[in-house]
Amino acid sequence: MVTPAERQGHLDLALQLTQIPTAAGRESRVIRWLSDWVSARPDLALAKDGAGNLSVSIRGAEGARPPVYLTAHMDHPAFVVERLIAPTTLELSFRGGVMDDYFKDARVLLWPGTDQGHAASEPSPIRGVLIGLSPTPGAYNKHYLCELDAAHDDIALGDVATWDVGPGAVEEGLIKTVVCDDLAALAASLCAFDKVRQLRAAGERTEDVRLLFTRAEEIGFIGAIAACRQKTIPSGARLIALENSRSFPDSPIGGGPIVRVGDRLSVFSPTLSASVAQRAEEIAGAPATPSAQQKADAAPKWRWQRKLMAGGACEATVFCAYGHDATCVCLPLGNYHNMADLDAVQAGTNSSPPRIDREFVSVADYHGLVDLLIACGQNLPQAPSTMDRIDKLWNERRDVLDEIR
């Protein structure tokens, strides 16, 4: 259903979005970009809750079935200016989860202007280097001292600083960029949502698909918690949280988007997870992993995975805890939170100092995520529950128990 030209547009959108500076509590640039995106589509409605989370819906799309929300968070681990110490010296707080080893002498980019958009007038970043921990304790994060390469007059408290990792690009089948987590997933949701609204406008029946973009996920799902507490999400809604999750050998990059059945904190809604997996299996024409009764020598062109992904936690856990029907679909991610060679650094076997680098995901996985979200937006019927499957087995085969009486 997606043309080559549309694929290229989806890829361009991912590269554009994943280079926008953002941090927990300082997502204004992403919010501005999304507001412009919605404004260019008169059939869409944008709402903002009391915590600044964004909801997007298609006007007049309400139906008999509960809405399907595609959700993603707008922040990424990054720094925020807390104090101006001297013309070239700043105190930065780090909002997110990165090993201490990666901060030593790390290079950063400071982005002046807390409320700037993504327009051509965006100020050029100011380069600097971390020179050590600040003696000032943070309430929930560490503070670092930063020495800028040169003095500037337009720096203000609350400005965002990001890792200095270079520009995003497509290289050897990978999207290598500053912020895959979670702006690559957010980009995929926009691409799928745009396709669903076009299908709906052409007269096709679709689900009532909506978008929810949350803030401050990287410091403990604060935006998602606020959305639940403020009842931003209507009762009965089905939520598909989108993530970029650290890849492991059994969840490889290039293996396809992952229907994530749980994380290190919880297991998600079984029936909704099964419904999304059913749609993935219908696209691929095969299960994620062949059973012992099936041959595995002819892998489907469209690849997907079904995994727990216990290396971290995601907002689906929050939504489930508040009683919502929620699951997750994620992209397997390299250089998680910009930490290169993370496995070796954690094991202490790295042969060179820890370094910050671009995150990366597979181009094919990204397109696969868009495909799966479009399919779910077209039709997401409830998959048979585990008890339905058990009852079916019982009714079909219980007679075998009579054979030894």
- What pLDDT digit, counting tens, does each position of 314-368 carry? 999 999 999 999 999 999 999 999 999 999 999 999 999 999 999 999 999 999 9
**pTM for the whole structure:** 0.94
Mean pLDDT of 228-249: 97
Alpha helices in 109-215 (DSSP H): 183-201
Q: Do residues 223 and 53 make contact, with C-beta atoms less than 8 angstroms apart?
A: yes
State the helix-helix crossing angle for 183-201 and 28-39, rounded to 10 degrees.
10
How much is the average pLDDT of 239-256? 97
Averaged pLDDT for residues 125-135: 95
pLDDT above 50: residue 118: no
Lowest mean pLDDT among 76-90, 169-183, 385-399: 385-399
In order of start, what are the domains of the chain with their CATH numbers?
Answer: 4-76+169-388 (3.40.630.10), 78-163 (2.40.10)
Contact 369, 257 (CB under 8 A): yes
More confident of the two residues 388 and 372: 372
| Arithmetic mean of pLDDT, 170-175 | 97
Q: 338 φ, ψ to 5°?
A: 70, 15
Q: What is the pLDDT of residues 190-230, one digit of tens each?
A: 999 999 999 999 999 999 999 999 999 999 999 999 999 99
Q: Give the pair of three-digit tokens for residue 217.
A: 């996920």
**Per-residue pLDDT tens digits for 273-313:** 999 999 999 999 988 887 767 776 656 789 999 999 998 99
Task: Indicate whether 174 pLDDT > 90.
Answer: yes
Could you write out the DSSP letters of every residue in 335-391?
A: SGGGBTTHHHHHHT--SS---B--EEEEHHHHHHHHHHHHHHHH--PPPPPHHHHHH
Q: What is the pLDDT of residue 290?
A: 79
Task: Tell me the C-alpha distance between 115 and 171, whole Å.
Answer: 32
pLDDT of residue 117: 46
Q: Closest Cα partner for 56 from 155, 193, 177, 246?
A: 193
Residue 126: per-residue pLDDT: 95
Closest by CA to 96, choosing from 248, 257, 312, 346, is 312
- Whether the per-residue pLDDT at 69 is higher than 50: the answer is yes
